[in-house]
Amino acid sequence: KAGVTQTPRYLIKTRGQQVTLSCSPISGHRSVSWYQQTPGQGLQFLFEYFSETQRNKGNFPGRFSGRQFSNSRSEMNVSTLELGDSALYLCASSSDRWKYGYTFGSGTRLTVV
Amino acid sequence: QKEVEQNSGPLSVPEGAIASLNCTYSDRGSQSFFWYRQYSGKSPELIMFIYSNGDKEDGRFTAQLNKASQYVSLLIRDSQPSDSATYLCAVNMRYGNKLVFGAGTILRVKS
């Protein structure tokens, strides 16, 4: 069974640009969440999607957005990039997060210069 | 008060010893609790979950939950150098309906 796949693995962008990250969950998983991980802040919740609907959102500015498609694949977008957006962005999927928690992808390392 | 709190460590234990990792959480309505292990440069990997008060054992790992004290712990018996990693406590918060992670505890097992 394939795991959670995130693309690309690494990305370098310039301040002010926008970026789109992609996530393919484990087959059958309808819940997808995104987290930002930095050395200073740890794992911070961005948003969660279930069956194409955003269920909740973390405390991030509106520049961070996401969506989920009918096949459960998800994308997140960050517009007007800032240096502080440099981080590891992790996608995670679950069949039932309350019972089984999440399985994480390998992440996308975003560097903003 | 942070939603999920962990001692950042590092916690250093000799090989073969028991490592004890602790976590407290703020939302009394939380119902499921997870421990993840994260090696340097890798993504978090689920190693244990627990829902009910008491202990849950899986191999060398034991998760302990005390809902009255809002406290979760992870014991690693016969610690090995390969257990050296950051251990993340995660709590499914009823308030906000989200899985919240602690900052993690760095564990170092010395041979």
Task: Retrieve residue A38's tokens.
Answer: 């930095």
Query: Chain A residues with CB inside 8 Å of B95's CB?
Result: none
Q: Which residue of B has its CA nearest to A38?
A: B103
Q: Closest CB to A107: pick one of B43, B46, B98.
A: B43
Closest-CA residue to A108 (of A20, A1, A30): A20
> What's the pLDDT at B103?
95
Distances (CA, A) of B28 to B11, B60, B66, B90: 27, 29, 11, 14
CA distance A82 to A110: 11
Is A43's CB within 8 Å of B92's CB?
A: no
- Kindly state whether A40 is in contact with chain B, defined as any CB-CB distance less than 8 angstroms: no
Q: How far apart are CA B107 and CA B111, in angstroms?
A: 13
Burial category of A71 from C-beta neighbours within 10 Å (exposed 0-12, middle 13-18, buried 19 and up) = exposed
Task: Please list, in sequence order, all residues whose beta carbon lies within 8 angstroms of the beta carbon of residue A61, skipping any fewer than 6 positions away.
Answer: none
- At A79-113, the pLDDT tens digits run 999 999 999 999 999 998 888 899 999 999 999 99
The 10s digit of each residue's pLDDT in B23-74 is 999 999 998 999 999 999 999 999 999 998 899 999 999 999 999 999 999 9
> What is residue A97's predicted lDDT score, i.e. its pLDDT?
86
